[in-house]
Amino acid sequence: MPEPARVLVLHDGSATSSPGLDAVAEQAPLTFTDEAGLAEALPGADVLYLHHFLSHALREAWPAADALQWVHVAAAGVDPVLFEELIGSDVTVTNSRGVFDDAIAEYVLGQIIAGAKGFRAAWRSQAEHRWQHRESDRVAGQRVLVVGTGAIGRSIARLLRAVGLEVRGAGRRVIEQDPDFGHVTDDLLGALPEFDWVVAVAPLTESTRGMFGTKEFAAMPAHARLINVGRGELVDTDALVEALERGAIAGAVLDVVDPEPLPAGHPLWDLPGVSLTAHQSGDVRGWREELDALFADNLGRWRRGEELRNVVDTELGYVPTTRSQT
């Protein structure tokens, strides 16, 4: 076994007290830093664990990364670290693929059920002490387009199909017979008119940034609703607000937004048909411990010279599905 690596943990104030890091500390000495101290702490670090997974601080601190070999991100999305200098380097990037899949799928199913059954309206009536009868929609048979065919998208597809929803996928290439989606299209705009729900879970890359804009909302049926559990920047927020205001679509469930956090005076807070949650769709109890356990396992693999889990293709911006996930 080689000498322990120097592992630097970038945190937002919570990582230093995370019990899941005990298994990491048993393998290597840990140094903790916040964003302000990252450039000073980076020299000599072999491994950077981005516990603060939304941080963009590495880009500015990059010149100080004189020994860095591996960056692990405590999230599925790795867009904060995909800047030109890192992409062009030999530094390996891994993510936390697999930790959030089932939880996010449950969130999506819950939001679809809540929308179809009119729960939000019922809760408003209860708060106003009004006994108001309403009819609702069946969930089974509604059509869902999942935009993003990675691990999270596939988990969503499997769960929705299990309760009777008709699911298709949209991705970078056509797949005629897919085990989870049935069919995957590469023509998002052409597919949108056929679906009652559109779930955005694609990775954020230059090709997916703003992929939901004026044309896409115009293509969706007026009764359709968008669910975004990917990144806020997948959606042109101004175009979404306009589409909601003029009734081009019926509503939106937004776990992620652009900008994030959403400013207090933003119109999305009060638009009818909008449901907002604070980037929490995958954050079930114990999620941080699972993230740390994944990193601890990968650190052991790295020290033994074994293949790492969840190696990101930095040119693509995500973990290719052909790569081993063992």
Positions marked catalytic? 231, 260, 279
Is residue 185 within 8 Å of 174, Cβ to Cβ? yes
Cβ contacts of residue 250 below 8 Å, gap of 6+?
A: 222, 223, 224, 225, 273
What is the b/e burial string over 177-192, where b = at least 16 CB atoms within 10 angstroms of the residue's CB?
ebebbeebbeebeebb
Is residue 102 within 8 Å of 80, Cβ to Cβ? no
DSSP 86-107: HHTSS-EEE--TTSSHHHHHHH
> How far is CA 292 from its chain centroid?
18
Please count the residues of the chain. 326
Q: How many CB atoms lie within 10 A of CB 134?
A: 9
Q: How many helices (H) and strands (E) does the chain have?
A: 11, 13
